[in-house]
Amino acid sequence: MSKYNDYIYDTIASVSPRVAEILGNEMNRQEENCELIASENFVSDAILAAVGSCFTNKYAEGYPTSRYSGREGRYYGGTQNVDELEEYCCNKWREVFNTDYHVNVQPHSGSQANFAAYMSVLNPGDTILSMSLENGAHLTHGSSVNFSGKLFNMVFYDVDKNGTIDYFNLAQKIAIYNPKLILAGASAYPRIIDFKKIRNLIDGVSDKYYRPRPYFMVDMAHIAGLVAAGDHPSPFGLADIITTTTHKTLRGPRGGLIFCKPELAKKVDGAVFPFAQGGPLEHVIAGKAIAAEEACTPAYKEYIHQVVRNSKAMCDKFIELGYDITTGGTDNHLFLIDFSKTHPNLTGKMVQDELDKHNITLNKNCVPNEKRSPVQASGVRIGTAAMTTKGYKEQYFIDKAIEIDNIISHL
């Protein structure tokens, strides 16, 4: 680990040997393990430093005063520096995605961002059309154990037998259910999502039935880095509201962002604070600002291109080794292995647990038309963003595929 990590360790050890001991173990784990969890990454020392900075001491409920034409925006005094920080952070994120959308950088996480985004334009009981959890969506996209499934009337569009979004079915569901919001985006979907097509379907069905246009929301948490680097089509200009996390392919601190068309700005801001959250995490906002600066660099774009090349190389190797990959491949930073046909006695959990023993970290995942519970699952999800940050290229990922195959063959 870096000198900066040594400094953090020593500073903590001088006060709490026990916390330092646990931290040291985690530092070693992160250093030694092959990290293939598709939603994780390793941030720069500058981001680590920002998140550990004195911005954590400041309360700043509200928004930079300048945002609403001079009206008092914050609930506390002493916010001149965090006001500047937050404005700078917002501007930088607009630059990353080359957009004039409004942006709120305060969501504490992706889930908080989605909660606020829904509540900015919906009321409890309204209908949301989304992808289902079994087919690759996130808990906040309508799972019955999540606020989304409890608060809203969730209906789901299908994937075809290979796991690819069935756009025809999506259009049919819009016509049948007349949802108030249509959500695109996923946690475990390896293919390009055609935002333009979805926009056209929404508009087409609305015109045909003389209905007002439903809101189109995109949760690009997983693919945001690819959108920033031009490796995935952008939802900007098409979606009304766009949410993301900052800690996956964007390689920033743990947190969320909400972008929206300018006319929804006040609704979105009000839904984040005071509705869903209290004081913003200004130390994390400092980290988000640095992540945005990093994402604007050519080096970051090259990093994302390499993430995608690595993902394809590893995925192709698994195909060559006889594995069943949902949708038959990948266009992005992740792919899913489905054991249900090739290894019917294997569960995703068995594979995850065995690989853990070999210092390879990934997660079990449901596959399309899943027959097992999510606790066991019939597949695993593999992502290349974290290990690409460590500098690894295609050959490393090909070798890891061979190693994983070897481990699985002994199960």
Q: Is the peptide bond before 280 cis (omega within 30 degrees of 0)?
A: no
Looking only at residues 23 through 52 of this chain, which bind ligand PLP when binding is defined by CB under 6 A?
A: 39
Q: Can residue 347 be called a binding residue for ligand PLP (CB under 6 A)?
A: no
**Residue whose beta carbon is closest to ligand PLP:** 110
Which H or E run contains 285?
helix 282-295
Catalytic entry in 244, 245, 347, 388: 245
Strands (E), 262-317: none
Work out how close the CB of 15 gets to ligand PLP at its nearest, in angstroms, rounded to a whole number: 29
Tell me how many degrees the CA angle 196-200-201 measures, rounded to the nearest 5. 115
Active site residue 167: no
The 10 Å Cβ neighbour count of residue 117 is 33
Active site residue 293: no
Q: Residues with Cβ < 8 Å from 180, sequence gap 6 or more? A: 121, 122, 126, 127, 128, 214, 215
Concerning whether 6 is annotated as a catalytic residue, the answer is no
| Closest to 377 (Cα-Cα) out of 363, 388, 360 | 363
Task: Give 108 or 317: the residue with its C-beta nearer to ligand PLP.
Answer: 108
Q: Interface mask (CB under 6 A) for ligand PLP, residues 87-126, using x and -?
A: ----------------------xxx--x------------
Contact 79, 58 (CB under 8 A): yes
- Of 215-223, 224-232, 337-345, 399-407, the segment contacting ligand PLP by CB under 6 A is 215-223
Q: Is 187 in the site for ligand PLP (CB under 6 A)?
A: yes
| Annotated catalytic residue within 86, 134, 219, 269 | 219
Specify the residue, 111 or 310, whose C-beta has the smaller distance to ligand PLP. 111
Query: Does residue 389 interact with ligand PLP by CB under 6 A?
Result: no
Q: How many whole angstroms separate alpha carbon 246 and alpha carbon 109? A: 8
Residue closer to ligand PLP, measured from CB, 245 or 310: 245
DSSP state letters, 340-402? TTT-TT--HHHHHHHHHHTTEE-EEE--TT--S-TTT-SEEEEE-HHHHHTT--HHHHHHHHH
Stretch that binds ligand PLP, among 98-106, 127-135, 153-161, 179-187 (CB under 6 A): 179-187
Is position 311 an interface residue for ligand PLP (rule: CB under 6 A)?
no
Instruction: Provide the minimum distance between the beta carbon of 327 and ligand PLP in the complex, in angstroms, as a whole number.
Output: 17
The residue from 197, 254, 261, 267 that is catalytic is: 254
Q: What is the nearest approach in angstroms of ligand PLP to the Cβ of residue 75?
A: 25
75 is catalytic: no
Our CB check for ligand PLP shows the closer of 254 and 266 to be 254
Stretch that binds ligand PLP, among 44-52, 117-125, 218-226, 283-291 (CB under 6 A): 218-226
**CA angle at 47 for the pair 46 and 50, rounded to the nearest 5°:** 90
User: Given candidates 79, 245, 326, 327, which one binds ligand PLP under the rule CB under 6 A?
Assistant: 245
User: Is 59 one of the catalytic residues?
Assistant: yes
Concatenating the DSSP letter of every residue in 125-182 gives T-EEEEE-GGGT--GGGT-TTSHHHHHSEEEEE-B-TTS-B-HHHHHHHHHHH--SEE
Q: Rule CB under 6 A: choose which of 222, 232, 343, 381 binds ligand PLP.
A: 222
| CB-based burial label for 183 (10 Å; 0-12, 13-18, 19+) | buried
Both structure tokens of 387: 């290990």
Among 221, 292, 304, 380, binds ligand PLP (CB under 6 A): 221
Cα–Cα dist 227/232, whole Å: 5
Residue 314 has which token pair? 């590893």
By CB under 6 A, residue 277 contacts ligand PLP: no
Q: Counting contacts by CB under 6 A, is residue 308 touching ligand PLP?
A: no
Catalytic residue list contains 83: no
**Min CB(3)–ligand PLP separation in Å:** 29
| Site residue total, ligand PLP (CB under 6 A) | 15
Beta-carbon count within 10 A of 191 CB = 21
Q: Which is nearer to ligand PLP, 90 or 218 (CB)?
A: 218
- 3-state SS, 39-66, equals CCCCCCHHHHHHHCCHHHHCCCCECCHH
In contact, 180 and 126? CB cutoff 8 Å = yes
Q: Are strands 256-260 and 241-245 parallel, antiparallel or unpaired?
A: antiparallel
Q: Which stretch binds ligand PLP (CB under 6 A): 183-191, 203-211, 279-287, 338-346?
A: 183-191
Binding site for ligand PLP (CB under 6 A): 39, 109-111, 114, 138, 140, 185-187, 219, 221-222, 245, 256
* Catalytically annotated residues: 59, 61, 219, 245, 248, 254
